[in-house]
Amino acid sequence: MPLQRIDTVVVGGGISGLAYAHARGPASELVVLEASERAGGLVRTTALGALGEFHCELGPETLRFEARGGLTDMLRELDLVAERPPKESRRRYLVCRGRLVEAPLGVGKFLRTPLLSWRGKLRMIAEPFRSKHLGNDGSVAEFVRHRIGEEALQGLLDPLVSGIHAGDPAVLSMRACFPRLVELVEKHGGLFRAQWKTRGEPAPSVMKTKGGCEAITRALAAALGAKLRLHARVHSFAREGERWLIESDAGRFDAARVVLAMPAAGAAALLAHAAPAIARRISEIESESLSSLVHVYRREQVGHPLAGFGYLVASREKLRHLGTLFSSSIAPDACPPTHVVLRTLLGGARAPHLAAAPELELLDIVRAEVHPLLAIRGEPELVAVQRWRATLPRFDLAHPARVQAIERALPPTLSLLGNYLRGIGVNHLVAAARTLAQHHGP
Ligand SMILES: Cc1cc2nc3c(=O)[nH]c(=O)nc-3n(C[C@H](O)[C@H](O)[C@H](O)COP(=O)(O)OP(=O)(O)OC[C@H]3O[C@@H](n4cnc5c(N)ncnc54)[C@H](O)[C@@H]3O)c2cc1C
């Protein structure tokens, strides 16, 4: 195959690679090489049912929009509209001794919640008196235990961490997973003080694009046109003087710059010869695997009103699933009013084997654990399983130093994007991609 000379090759057509390529602008000379038959990576919305009447998310369910920048600007450029889910779906639930309890978001609910004893509540209220220096560079568990106590860790934070990172709070680094909270404590002296001092500042909103999250990656792919090549797995790349030689299913490229926007394991494998020291550091990053099971019922089969976003499960409950999203409450247009769509997540650090367990085993868990919690009678009308293998990186205690070392070692013509670096949320990834594109210019 002839060698094509080009300015930039982007490897990976997930949200990171697409957002970067889009932000470089129409005049940029670049190509995005995506291994699979579709763009979007983990961002995936599918239509289920005989008529495709159930629109379900298999990857991200909703996205966080900052008031300005990143995702908000990108959506405007793509002419896409994001909407807040209905008000009632802002309610979140936690499992407490085998039943659903509303998460205590607000003073009244906090005082009444059965999730914490009075001793646990008093310990939480004492947060402003805790030292602002302790726990910030430790695990999520150490930070939370120091600031708001053991009960709050077990009852409130443990399920939240499972919901976002599918990980173990004792292993995850607070600074890597929740950098904003550490920053607020260091700046204002405590979480409650920070909340008071930053009141009135615009808070990020949880929203969803019309047509589902994949509407964004579809629009990015359409805007890129022929610059995006599908079925274009990159096999190898090597340094040739100041330039890079890339071999892929879509041909050979001679590029001035390469942006790797792919998962950690793939990036480490590609870099093994061209940049072995960086590859070694990336290969230290472990990732959690998940199964996501969509299950659809007729509305009258479900006794619970599903007026909320969903629920999360704390480890102390000894259940095998991590939580369930009330997908049809978050996006009522995505499903006929006669039915409800639920999505249960299983696997992660708590039960790694469930990421690969057969569909029947996952469905048995749903029947045994989810059905009683939501008062569901009978069988689901539709079921769909999506496996996500090694997709959620484990930001362990060594992660902040590791990422700094990786970034310091990168030559100026090689860049990395992806959820194994500084944040897993799509909002973080888009912001990082756009900052890099701005730095590289059109
Ligand atoms: C179940 C689940 C729920 C989530 N929920 C949310 C949520 O609610 N909100 C949120 O903000 N985030 C959520 N996330 C996280 C978010 O979806 C991901 O972090 C993000 O989509 C990752 O995007 P990416 O482009 O960095 O990587 P990916 O999406 O993994 O894309 C990488 C791309 O690179 C391609 N590729 C790999 N190897 C090669 C190669 N050799 N050559 C060419 N191409 C290659 C892959 O095919 C893939 O398309 C969730 C993730 C999961 C798994």
User: Which residues contact residue 246 at a Cβ distance below 8 angstroms, ignoring those fewer than 6 apart?
Assistant: 9, 11, 33, 234, 236, 237, 252, 253, 254, 255, 258
**Distance of CA 170 to CAs 152, 231, 242, 313, 395, Å?**
14, 40, 44, 17, 11
Position 140 confidence tier, pLDDT thresholds 50, 70, 90: very high
Judged against a pLDDT cut of 90, whether residue 22 lies above it is answered with yes
Distance between CA atoms of residues 262 and 349, nearest Å: 22
Judged against a pLDDT cut of 90, whether residue 105 lies above it is answered with no
Position 311 confidence tier, pLDDT thresholds 50, 70, 90: very high
Which amino acid is present at 145?
R
Ligand 1 atom closest to Cα of 232? Answer: 43
Ligand 1 atom closest to Cα of 39? Answer: 49
- Contact at 8 Å (CB) between 256 and 391? no
What's residue 134's pLDDT? 84
Mean pLDDT of 344-363: 95
Mean pLDDT of 146-175: 91
Percentage of the residues of the chain whose pLDDT score is greater than 70: 100
418 lines ligand 1 (CB under 6 A): yes
Distance between CA atoms of residues 259 and 9, nearest Å: 6
Decide which of 101 and 205 is more confident: 101
61 lines ligand 1 (CB under 6 A): yes
Ligand 1 mean position, distance from CA 292 (Å): 15
Tokens at 195, concatenated: 């909340």
Judged against a pLDDT cut of 80, whether residue 267 lies above it is answered with yes
- Contact at 8 Å (CB) between 139 and 127? no
What's residue 277's pLDDT? 95
Position 122 confidence tier, pLDDT thresholds 50, 70, 90: very high
What's residue 259's pLDDT? 98
Position 204 confidence tier, pLDDT thresholds 50, 70, 90: confident
Judged against a pLDDT cut of 90, whether residue 205 lies above it is answered with no
What's residue 89's pLDDT? 86
What's residue 246's pLDDT? 97
Position 391 confidence tier, pLDDT thresholds 50, 70, 90: very high
Q: Which residue ranges form the domains of the chain, and what is each CATH number?
A: 3-43+210-286+395-440 (3.50.50.60), 116-201 (1.10.3110.10), 287-393 (3.90.660.20)
Mean pLDDT of 51-66: 91
234 lines ligand 1 (CB under 6 A): yes
Mean pLDDT of 254-270: 97
Mean pLDDT of 255-279: 96
Judged against a pLDDT cut of 90, whether residue 431 lies above it is answered with yes
Q: Could you read off the pLDDT of 30-42 as tens digits, one per residue?
A: 999 999 999 999 9
Mean pLDDT of 252-263: 97
Ligand 1 atom closest to Cα of 33? Answer: 43
Which of 33, 42, 217 for a ligand 1 pocket mutation test, highest count of atoms within 8 Å of Cβ? 42
Position 138 confidence tier, pLDDT thresholds 50, 70, 90: very high
Position 197 confidence tier, pLDDT thresholds 50, 70, 90: confident
Judged against a pLDDT cut of 80, whether residue 425 lies above it is answered with yes
Ligand 1 atom closest to Cα of 429? Answer: 26
What's residue 244's pLDDT? 96
**Mean residue pLDDT across the chain:** 93
As a whole number of Å, the end-to-end CA separation of the chain is 28
What's residue 199's pLDDT? 84
Query: Nearest-CA neighbor of 144 among 191, 106, 92, 96?
Result: 191
16 lines ligand 1 (CB under 6 A): yes
Mean pLDDT of 226-254: 95
Q: What is the CA radius of gyration of the chain?
A: 22
Mean pLDDT of 328-355: 94
- Contact at 8 Å (CB) between 165 and 288? yes
Distance between CA atoms of residues 236 and 226, nearest Å: 22
Ligand 1 atom closest to Cα of 392? Answer: 53
What's residue 240's pLDDT? 87
35 lines ligand 1 (CB under 6 A): yes
What's residue 162's pLDDT? 86
* Burial of 63 from C-beta contacts in 10 A (0-12 / 13-18 / 19+): buried
Mean pLDDT of 51-64: 92
What's residue 250's pLDDT? 95
Query: Nearest-CA neighbor of 310 among 90, 109, 156?
Result: 90
Judged against a pLDDT cut of 80, whether residue 371 lies above it is answered with yes
What's residue 441's pLDDT? 83
70 lines ligand 1 (CB under 6 A): no
388 lines ligand 1 (CB under 6 A): yes
What's residue 106's pLDDT? 79
What's residue 202's pLDDT? 75
Position 135 confidence tier, pLDDT thresholds 50, 70, 90: confident
